[in-house]
Structure 1
């Protein structure tokens, strides 16, 4: 069910089923990006050696959104705020499809 603010909940699944990790976003991609930032990060964007499969089940539906995700670290932007750490984790995802559960 979509909340009044338009956000939806997505549960990260492992091989056995649902886990306790819930990500919220307006779109499945937004939730997948949040999940990808928690992956082990490569030292830089050029040194990414693999992608992890992210399976996000949309709560209250039988849809599983499947993404390939990867993360890397980079220096804080020049115009970044003071409170931002010197090294930040960036992520990207690529949608592979949707699976419907029975």
Structure 2
């Protein structure tokens, strides 16, 4: 398993055909899934958000982590830094399981 010096691992976002389009890094699969979920088309609120299947293969392994992810727009906190926009994208994920691939 390939880990960088800071403990982060790389996870490739897979579509249903097995094509890998993007790579997200994180210490845990969930951290990478949250990064991927923030790239989804955000809804107006969390309750309105469509849930999307996210499949992340851990680089150097045959493990594919399955998540359900969703994103929404929210008003930024009052104590936000000057550079942060007034509306920010928030995301959440729910783990559905792990699949072990036969080959990569």
Provide the alpha-carbon RMSD of the alignment: 0.8
Distance in 1 of aligned mates of 2:19 and 2:6: 25
In the other structure, the counterpart of 1:70 is 70
TM-score, normalisation: structure 2: 0.93
In the other structure, the counterpart of 1:17 is 18
Shift of 1:46: 2.6
Tell me if structure 2 keeps the 8 A contact 1:62–1:100. yes
Paired residue secondary structure (1:35): helix
Distance in 2 of aligned mates of 1:93 and 1:21: 17
TM-score, normalisation: structure 1: 0.95
Shift of 1:5: 1.0
Matches within 5 A, 1:1-102: 1-48=2-49, 50-102=50-102
Distance in 2 of aligned mates of 1:18 and 1:59: 13
Distance in 1 of aligned mates of 2:43 and 2:34: 16
Count of residues paired in the alignment = 101
Shift of 1:20: 2.8
What are the ranges of 5 or more consecutive residues in structure 1 without an aligned counterpart?
A: none
Shift of 1:15: 1.2
Paired residue secondary structure (1:16): coil
